[in-house]
Chain A
C-alpha cells in the first residue's frame, strides 16, 4: 500500500513540478488576497486576532484552489480507470492525494507566510516561529485529509467547481477556529502563548477524526 501510494505521490509531485499548476496559482492567489485585505481594511499593518483571521481565511481559500484541481489530471486524461484497474488498495490513492495536498500547502505557506509578514503583519514573526510551525503542520494535516476527501466526493459531480468550496469551507470551520485561536496570541505585538495546548489539542482531534473517517469511507467513492 505504501509503495503504491508512493508511486502515485511521485507521479503527482512530478506532474506539479513540470506543469506548475497548483502551487504557483495558490501562492499568487494568497498574495492577491493580502493586497485585497490591505485595501479592504484600509490598514497598513495588522496584528492579533485580525491578523490571524486574515491569514487563515486566506490559507483556506487558497486551499480550495488546490482541492478543485486535485483529481484534474486523472479526470481529464482518463487516468482514473488505470488507477482503479491496478490491483492496489484505494486507501493508497487517498494517502497519495492527501500527501500531495499537504506538500502543496507547505509550499504555499513557505511563500505566503513571509509575504504576509512583509505586507501586512505588524509584529515580528521570528519570536513565535516554533509555536507557529506546530500550528501550521497540524492545520495542514487536517486540511489535506478533508481536502482529499472532498476532492474525491466532488469528482463525480457535474458542478465540481461549485461543490468543492461549498462543501470544504463549512467542514473546515472547526479547523479554522483551532488554527486562528492558536495563532492569535502569536501575532500580538508581544507574542504570547495562551491556551496553546488546548487549540493544538482541538486541531489534533480534528486531524485524527477526519483522517480515520476518510480512510474508512474512501473505498466507497471510487468503486466502479
Chain B
C-alpha cells in the first residue's frame, strides 16, 4: 500500500544526495567571509526548511484524520512529525556548529530563526509523552491529531513573535531564503534542498511501509493463533 514507488524514489534520493554533495564540495565557491565552514549551510538550512515543512504537513494530515476519521492519516501524521523531530536534532546540532564557527559561540540568542526553532522543537518533543500516555487507540489518534494541528499553527506564529522580539539581528552573510545568493551557491542550495526533501519523503514512505507490514504481520499471527486454539479444542 505504501511501498508503491519506493524504489524509484530511493534511487532518485541517492542521485540527488550524491549530486548535492558533489556540488557542495567541488562546484560551489568558498564563502569569501566565512571560508569552508560556510558549506554547513547546505545541510543546515535545507534540513531546517524540510523539518518545519514536515511539522506543518503533519498538522495538515492530522486535519484530514479528524475530517475523515481514517486512522491511517494519523499514522502518516505521526511518522511525519517523528522524522521532523529527528531532523530537528540535526538542525540544532549543525546550527550550533555553524554559530560556533562564525560567531564564536555554541549558542546565540539573537539569531531569531535558531531560537524559534528551539522552541518549536521543544514543543514537538512533548508529542511523544502525550501520544503514548493515552491508551485507547482511537482516542490516542484523535488527541495526537489535535496536538499536531495546534502545534502546526503555532509554528508560524512563534516565528513572527521571536523575530519581532529581536531588536537587532546579526548582520547576515546570506539571506536565509537564498534570495540573494550568487548563482552557483543558489544552484547548490536548491539541489541540496531537493535532496533533503527527497530523503525525507523516502524515509517517510519507508517507515510507513514498515509500520504497515508489522501491523499486518501481527494480524496474521493473531489469526494463526486463533486457528491453532480452535484446532486444539
Contacts and interface: CB of A to CB of B under 8 A. Distances in A.
Contacts, number: 89
B142 A206 contact: no
A177 B162 contact: yes
Contact of B158 (A163, A174, A199, A223): A174
Contact of B164 (A149, A171, A198, A224): A198
B138 A217 contact: no
Given A177-B162, A178-B161, A224-B139, A171 B150 contact: yes
A156 B138 contact: no
Contacts of A177: 161-162, 164-165
Nearest to B120: A170
A25 to B, nearest CB: 24
Contact of B134 (A157, A166, A174, A199): A157
Interface residues of A, number: 32
Contacts of A159: 129, 133
B157 A206 contact: yes
Nearest to A173: B119
A60 interface: no
A220 B66 contact: yes
A170 B130 contact: no
Nearest to B122: A170
Interface of A: 149, 153-154, 156-159, 162-163, 166-167, 170-171, 173-174, 177-178, 181, 198-199, 202, 205-206, 209-210, 213-214, 217, 220-221, 223-224
27 contacts: A153-B130, A153-B150, A157-B129, A157-B130, A157-B133, A162-B129, A163-B126, A163-B130, A167-B126, A167-B147, A171-B123, A174-B160, A174-B162, A177-B161, A177-B164, A199-B164, A206-B157, A209-B153, A209-B157, A213-B149, A213-B150, A217-B146, A217-B150, A220-B142, A223-B142, A224-B138, A224-B139
